[in-house]
Structure 1
Amino acid sequence: MNGATRQLPGRADHAAVRRANLAVAVRALRAGGRSRAQLAADTSLTKATVSSLVTELAGRGLVHTARPGTTAADAASNGDTARSGAVGRPGQPVELATGRVLAIGVELNVDYLCGVVLDLGGRERVLTRTAFDVPAGVDATADEVVRLVTELADRTLAGTAFATADDPAVLAGVGVAAPGLVDGTRGTVRVAPNLRWRDVPLHDLLADRLAGSALPWLPGGSRPWDERLLVDNEATLATLAEFAGDAGPDDRDLVLVTGGVGVGGGLVVDGRLVRGSGGFAGEVGHLAVAPDGARCGCGRRGCWETLCGLGALLDLAAPPDDPVHRHDEDLDVRLDLLLERARDGDERTLAAFDRVGRALGHGASMLVNLTNPRVLVLGGYFARLGEFLRPVAQAELAARVVAPDAGGVRVTLSRLGLAAAATGAAHAVLAPVLDDPTLVPTLAAQSPATTQSPTSAVHASPTLVEEIG
């Protein structure tokens, strides 16, 4: 071999190894506080390495320590938080300081906007939903999204222990979940039939408006309002939230079916989110379940969502002038009204639930026959009305799935309900910080006041790798 072209083994990139180890430590601490010794055992890192990592994370305001036997709330009330950069005694539990980094997620739906703020541990800090006629106009929607983001930031970022001139709390990013076919690379809504949108450059519209805001973006790059803004499909992001939140080690094969005005879906195979070659996977609401059925908003007939979308349920359950059809009323209130009627034995409501439940099970059986998932998660309004819809859907599923015992699939209800897509959007923009905690700058002030104790432990999230092809 010619010596001039010989490739010698490269030396380890110590900075990359350091970033990876910091990420391992932060993700482990999302499961709750623990001593340095336990953290070393859980991560297979040496105790010396863990102590060094804790020192750096504390210097960035990402962790704090508390006396053994005290709760996080006790530690905060007693002022027993670690000085930034201090290693502390080995027996002291190390916990995430969840007020340093926050992430905002927003979902656009046909008649409402949902906003969520998550902290570094993935815990929900704020949840809000407001009625809004999204199809009324693209510009008005973009204005309202920015107004909501600013309001959420004001409510949470300014109230943290880090909200000082020297050490402000930082915003990891803003994620926006939109229905329809979304090009997540460009942030463009290609087609959203229920919004009557086509080729809407939503990312650019929002970035132009956020450029003039005073949001405390995570440092890095010349245009953080552009670089830390994400727009993606609502069902894809809802699937991310379900996997990040409730999935156990045996739930690496998962299908989500979420019900709203439309019906969306997401697929996780062996821990990988399947996006498809163009990023448009998951448009399950347009499966042709009844080819000669009603016309769908997409222009075709018999799509699955014409049988079990929210509009189909409401039309079956109540006349047009009934309060459940009021789009200016919060959806939770309208669904509660239907639940109350069903529990009181109202025949029309129960018949509607039965018909929609069977349609839900019919379509879901196609997904189960195709993908053989371990778990089928019902989200959106399906989860909200799961008390009545799940038993009917399960029976229909069992009758239509070819594999014995329905392929062993377990049907569960989303705990996130109507907030899943917004929560997933926040998870998505938080991920870069979890992957590289050095994105968060070192604190300027080195005092106990610069750390904050979380009020509860947060469950660890399994790693989810997006599969593009």
Structure 2
Amino acid sequence: MRSANLSLVLRRLRDEGPRSRARLATELGLTRSAVSALVGELEDRGLVRRGGVERGGLGRPGTAVELDGGAVCGIGAEVNVNHVATMALDLAGDVVAEHRLDLDANRLAVDEVLDRLAELVLTTDAEVRATGRTTVGCVVGVAGLLDRTHEVLTVGPNLHWKNVPVGAGLRARLGGEYPVTIDNESNLAAVAEATPGDAARQDILVIFGEVGMGGGIVVDGRPLRGHQGYAGEFGHMIVEPGGRRCGCGRVGCWETVAGMRALLDAAADPDDPVRDPDLSLADRLAEINRRAELGDARTLAALDQLGSWIGVGAAMLANALNPAAIVLSGYYAELGDHLRPAIAEQLLAGVLAPQAGGTRVEFSTLGFTAAVRGGATVALEAVFDDPTVVAPRSDALTGGTR
């Protein structure tokens, strides 16, 4: 019961922001003395601290309580086709450390890619510890179908990986006791978009585009993974029967008309510098945006075609799930202003319900950090679920143990 009440207080502060002890007592249905004791314990664990003065209520102003980011961090990590990356977030949601290493996972052996990722995780963890914080967990996102029970990447069409034991491989490199969890990178990107306390961001779909295309479903603020954890593989819906063959081996997948390859094929000749495989994704998108801003007809036509195909698939998903919002993340967000009109047109035309069933189209502001940010957020859930996983600071002073 104590752990559950500590969790209630901590989640309320995360979801609703700083508030006084009196206000917490009223909102949570607890006595003021109980809330004061709970806040005192959370303070001792370094999870909350005193904030400013809360005004606006009846009676004397009270001192607000707020999340304290000084004690713990969660680390998010990602394996994708053209990079590995990490990010550490503290409990208050602030970035403590961040790293990204560009590489071509298709040209490297699996072991070498995992070596590079493990090095980034260890570097990030060392930076967290150098600030006096503790890492409570690391959640790693991988691109492809993931067997979460066994932490095996069953199929990674764009990575060209099959039946890779990612979890076991990373633990062998980080040490068997290191707190690692493996998840799908698009699911983690979806978690990062579900803003706590924002009712309009609790039931959303996230469509994530990079080299490939994936997505995630968030219901009541939590990811919906499906019966065996394979939900969200939007990129492999068949939208063009008889179309181009996909990296998964099938024909006409959404990814074949809305992925990066489709955009480049439409926008540039094979020898165009924008298609140089050594060009970073950021530089490639910057050049496409530059050409669009200059009014290049071929680029604008390619972006309009891309937006139309995104809208076709988005309408299918909106008909099936009627989310509050469809959030376009990854490289789609970088091109958002040029894609929006065609997406909106197809969504209105393709959704049966009036005005697209109220589904909004939004573009992520997280760039290519969504998956690692989501991983760090999921890692920190262990603390919000049970704050007693963090040792009281008084134990260190008295020599006690948890």
Q: Same fold (TM over 0.5)?
A: yes
d(CA) in 1 for partners of 2:364, 2:196 = 9
Instruction: Report the CA distance shift for 1:335/1:247 in structure 2 as closer, same or farther (over 3 A).
Output: farther
**Is 1:41 aligned to 2:26, yes or no?**
yes
Aligned pairs (5 A) from 1:22-101: 22-30=6-14, 31-66=16-51, 68=53, 91-101=62-72
Instruction: Report the CA distance shift for 1:375/1:400 in structure 2 as closer, same or farther (over 3 A).
Output: same
Aligned to 2:125: 153
**Mean alpha-carbon deviation: is it higher for 19-28 or for 30-39?**
30-39
**Is 1:138 aligned to 2:124, yes or no?**
no
8 Å Cα contact 1:60-1:440 kept in structure 2: yes
Instruction: Report the CA distance shift for 1:91/1:349 in structure 2 as closer, same or farther (over 3 A).
Output: same
The answer to which structure, 1 or 2, has the higher relative contact order (CA under 8 A, 6+ apart) is: 1
Could you say what secondary structure the match of 2:86 adopts?
strand
- What is the CA distance between 1:247 and its match in structure 2? 7.0
What RMSD, in angstroms, separates the aligned Cα atoms of the two structures? 2.2
Aligned pairs (5 A) from 1:304-323: 304-323=254-273
d(CA) in 2 for partners of 1:177, 1:417 = 16
Instruction: Report the CA distance shift for 1:269/1:65 in structure 2 as closer, same or farther (over 3 A).
Output: closer
Instruction: Report the CA distance shift for 1:56/1:314 in structure 2 as closer, same or farther (over 3 A).
Output: same
**Is 1:325 aligned to 2:287, yes or no?**
no
- 1:215-260 Cα offsets, whole Å, 9 max, x none, are xxxxxxxx531xx2111111111112212x2672244432111111
Instruction: Report the CA distance shift for 1:442/1:377 in structure 2 as closer, same or farther (over 3 A).
Output: same
Instruction: Report the CA distance shift for 1:328/1:36 in structure 2 as closer, same or farther (over 3 A).
Output: farther
Aligned to 2:145: 181
The number of residues matched between the two structures is 391
d(CA) in 2 for partners of 1:315, 1:384 = 18
Aligned to 1:7: none
8 Å Cα contact 1:39-1:50 kept in structure 2: yes
Aligned to 1:241: 192
8 Å Cα contact 1:111-1:328 kept in structure 2: no
Paired amino acid for 1:27: R
Q: Which runs of 5+ in 2 are unaligned?
A: 55-60
8 Å Cα contact 1:130-1:330 kept in structure 2: no
**Mean alpha-carbon deviation: is it higher for 26-35 or for 130-139?**
26-35
Aligned pairs (5 A) from 1:70-469: 91-135=62-106, 136-158=108-130, 160=131, 163=132, 169-211=133-175, 224-225=177-178, 228-243=179-194, 245=195, 248-443=198-393, 444=395
Instruction: Report the CA distance shift for 1:107/1:247 in structure 2 as closer, same or farther (over 3 A).
Output: farther
d(CA) in 2 for partners of 1:326, 1:65 = 53
d(CA) in 1 for partners of 2:350, 2:68 = 49
**Mean alpha-carbon deviation: is it higher for 255-264 or for 272-281?**
272-281
8 Å Cα contact 2:157-2:248 kept in structure 1: yes
- 1:354-408 Cα offsets, whole Å, 9 max, x none, are 1111111111111111112221111111111111112211111111112221112
Could you say what secondary structure the match of 2:365 adopts?
coil
The percent of aligned pairs where both chains have the same amino acid is: 46
- What is the CA distance between 1:34 and its match in structure 2? 2.8
**Mean alpha-carbon deviation: is it higher for 287-296 or for 200-209?**
287-296
Highest CA radius of gyration, 1 or 2?
Answer: 1
Could you say what secondary structure the match of 1:362 adopts?
helix
d(CA) in 1 for partners of 2:76, 2:372 = 5
d(CA) in 1 for partners of 2:70, 2:123 = 17
Instruction: Report the CA distance shift for 1:316/1:33 in structure 2 as closer, same or farther (over 3 A).
Output: same
* Bigger proportion of residues as strand: 2
d(CA) in 2 for partners of 1:282, 1:106 = 19
Aligned to 2:58: none
Aligned to 1:9: none
Could you say what secondary structure the match of 2:38 adopts?
helix
d(CA) in 1 for partners of 2:91, 2:288 = 37
d(CA) in 2 for partners of 1:239, 1:115 = 17
8 Å Cα contact 1:110-1:134 kept in structure 2: yes
8 Å Cα contact 2:258-2:310 kept in structure 1: yes
Paired amino acid for 2:80: N
d(CA) in 1 for partners of 2:152, 2:278 = 27
d(CA) in 1 for partners of 2:325, 2:20 = 34
d(CA) in 2 for partners of 1:109, 1:315 = 21
TM-score by length of 2: 0.91
d(CA) in 2 for partners of 1:300, 1:186 = 26
d(CA) in 2 for partners of 1:330, 1:247 = 36
TM-score by length of 1: 0.79
